[in-house]
A and B are shown apart, each in its own frame.
Chain A
Amino acid sequence: MSTTITAPAKTTTPSAPAVTLPKPATVFNNLLRADLITQWRNRRATFLVLLIPAVILISWKGLVPKFGSAFVLANCITVGLNAIGLMGYTNSIARDRDKGVFQRLRITPAPRWTIMVSRLTVQLLMIAIVTTILFIVGYQADHIVMQPSGYALAFCVAIAGGAVYLSLGQVIVGLIHNAETVNVVTRLVYFIFIMVGMFGSLGMLGDAINKVSNWSPYGTVERILANALNNVWTNTTTIALLATIGYTLLFTIIGIRYFRWQSSK
């Protein structure tokens, strides 16, 4: 099968042989392979992304009888999704932008969407891996067993929920054009999300924070994950899902609108 697209009519007198464009799928495959290699070579950082929710999951074993398996597992998956979106995706984009990697890619015939979609695909794969590993850790360490349909639904919801944090990461790299500042801000946002989200949802920070937490990007994702794991779908779950989609759309629009391919040093 051909991997190229023949040139359209030129707008002026021809001066050189017609060029052939590589097919977007060919470009995307090459970018994806490079991004997967990059992710694999950064596996130490990947391990740390997984480590935090796994440690929380193991240490919360005592909370399972009180709050329920789904609540504990959903919280830990949400922490993992946070880490992937905020730390993994955002910092890699900020770093490569700062080093000029994107500038180099932009002067090739690669459609710009392929550059970003390739990055996002790798992160979605990470979400799938982290979610699966947390299912296994939950089973092994906390003896959490859900129905197969619950796992399947939660797996799909994790992908959708992960999109919120990827889009939030996009907002951060969109609004902040300096890699070091991005690094600091992502850590701060990650810390706030975990603290307010986890402890807020446990009711340890008072009712007001609990309500804020429940409808924050952390709380809505945690809720649809927990209900998916329990195989329960209520009106509140639907509203939480709609809120999650709303957050994703809002963050995506802002993130793309203000994104710059070049950093400000």
Chain B
Amino acid sequence: MNTHPVLQVENLDVRYGSFQAVRQVSFEVQPGEIFGLLGPNGAGKTSTLSAIEGLLIPSGGTIHVAGYDSRRQPLYARASMGVQLQSTSFQAELTISEIIRLYAGIHGVTLSKERLAQILDDIRLGDAAGKRFGQLSGGQQQRVSLVIATIHNPTLLLMDEPTTGLDPQSRRQLWERIEAMRDKGHAILLTTHSMEEAESVCDRIAIIDHGQIITIDTPQAIIDDNRGRPEVIRASRRGRITLEDVFIGLTGAAIRS
């Protein structure tokens, strides 16, 4: 099995003027792994993800995607990843099939009519091919976004809060698709506010706060390592220590802006 990391982030720093949003963040994501990046609002999750996606230039550190330096070889790094943004917007005038065809073309993937129809059928949107993206429900939009993010079979999939706003059925279906991708050897990096989902789906997680990673391990190991901490015990409400208790214990109970 290939054991080289698909994503290597080393000593990442992100600054917005005088504010340092991310400081010295380092982690790796292996092939066939779902890696969760958890943190309260404003902790630095989206900034970290944006730096990996190439949407912002880090003030320090290095990022390698599938072995490509994201600053020196940005196009190759971006071609190796698929991204599902937190709020996705596509050209309002284009239909679903036109959007899928556009993004496939941008990645150098040629789609025949039959293949496109099959893709739409697979996500149960065969009847919606002529609809505009804005006419779809949240769950349908999420399915289209995932298809577009994975149309070129990327080695790394980045997902920023993919289940936000989805009903339980859509959420369940999305996780099944993500797990199926992991089983095929894709590496997945995601952010989520749902500790239950992170605990049940992620192979490893990193908790980030004030721009720094405060712990990184498997969900169970993080729970086990922190279950004796007084602040975690104080946060526990169900008689047993959960990942959410550890998260609250480590990052504090105060609401972030």
Which A positions have Cβ atoms within 8 angstroms of B? 3-4, 7-8, 10-17, 19-23, 26-27, 29-31, 33-34, 37-38, 41-42, 96, 99-101, 103-111, 262
Q: Is the CB of B155 within 8 A of A16?
A: yes
Chain B 46-59 per-residue mask, 1 if CB under 8 angstroms from chain A, else 0: 00000001110000
Q: Is the CB of A14 within 8 A of B67?
A: yes
Q: Is the CB of B93 within 8 A of A15?
A: no
Instruction: A70 to B83: give the CA distance in the assembly, Å.
Output: 53
CB proximity of B33 to chain A, nearest CB, Å: 12
Would you call B21 an interface residue if the criterion is a C-beta within 8 Å of the partner chain's C-beta atoms?
A: no
Q: Is the CB of B67 within 8 A of A11?
A: yes
Beyond A11-B64, A11-B73, A13-B4: 11 further Cβ-contacts under 8 Å? Answer: A19-B79, A20-B108, A21-B75, A26-B105, A34-B91, A103-B89, A106-B55, A107-B85, A109-B79, A109-B107, A111-B75
Which residue of chain A has its CB nearest to the CB of B101?
Answer: A30
Q: Is the CB of B55 within 8 A of A103?
A: yes
Which of B67, B105, B110 meets A27, CB within 8 Å? B105
Would you call B68 an interface residue if the criterion is a C-beta within 8 Å of the partner chain's C-beta atoms?
A: yes
Q: Is the CB of A16 within 8 A of B78?
A: no
Q: Is the CB of B67 within 8 A of A100?
A: no
Chain B 88-127 per-residue mask, 1 if CB under 8 angstroms from chain A, else 0: 1111111000100111011110100000000000000000
**What are 12 pairs between A and B in contact, CB < 8 Å?**
A10-B67, A11-B72, A12-B64, A13-B4, A14-B67, A15-B6, A16-B66, A19-B76, A34-B98, A38-B93, A101-B91, A105-B106
Which of B76, B101, B108 meets A8, CB within 8 Å? B76
Would you call B169 an interface residue if the criterion is a C-beta within 8 Å of the partner chain's C-beta atoms?
A: no
Would you call B212 an interface residue if the criterion is a C-beta within 8 Å of the partner chain's C-beta atoms?
A: no
Q: Is the CB of A108 within 8 A of B64?
A: no
Instruction: A23 to B4: give the CA distance in the assembly, Å.
Output: 28
Q: A16-B80, A21-B75 are in contact. Are A11 and B69 (CB under 8 A)?
A: yes
Which residue of chain A has its CB nearest to the CB of B5?
Answer: A15
Which of A30, A96, A111 meets B91, CB within 8 Å? A96
Q: Is the CB of A109 within 8 A of B67?
A: no
Would you call B162 an interface residue if the criterion is a C-beta within 8 Å of the partner chain's C-beta atoms?
A: no
Q: A3-B108, A11-B64, A100-B85 are in contact. Are A38 and B94 (CB under 8 A)?
A: yes
CB proximity of B54 to chain A, nearest CB, Å: 7
Instruction: A11 to B65: give the CA distance in the assembly, Å.
Output: 10
Q: Is the CB of B31 within 8 A of A15?
A: yes
Q: Is the CB of A104 within 8 A of B90?
A: yes
B176-213 CB contacts (< 8 Å) to partner A: none
Instruction: A55 to B54: give the CA distance in the assembly, Å.
Output: 47
Top 5 A-B residue pairs of the complex, sorted by shortest distance between their CB atoms: A22-B108, A30-B105, A15-B4, A10-B67, A109-B79
B68 cross-chain contacts in A, Cβ below 8 A: 7, 10-11, 19
A12 cross-chain contacts in B, Cβ below 8 A: 8, 64, 67, 69
Would you call B18 an interface residue if the criterion is a C-beta within 8 Å of the partner chain's C-beta atoms?
A: no
Q: Is the CB of B67 within 8 A of A42?
A: no
Q: A13-B67, A16-B155, A21-B79 are in contact. Are A107 and B91 (CB under 8 A)?
A: no
Which among A22, A107, A262 has the greatest number of chain B C-beta atoms within 10 A? Answer: A107
CB proximity of A265 to chain B, nearest CB, Å: 11
Q: Is the CB of A107 within 8 A of B78?
A: yes
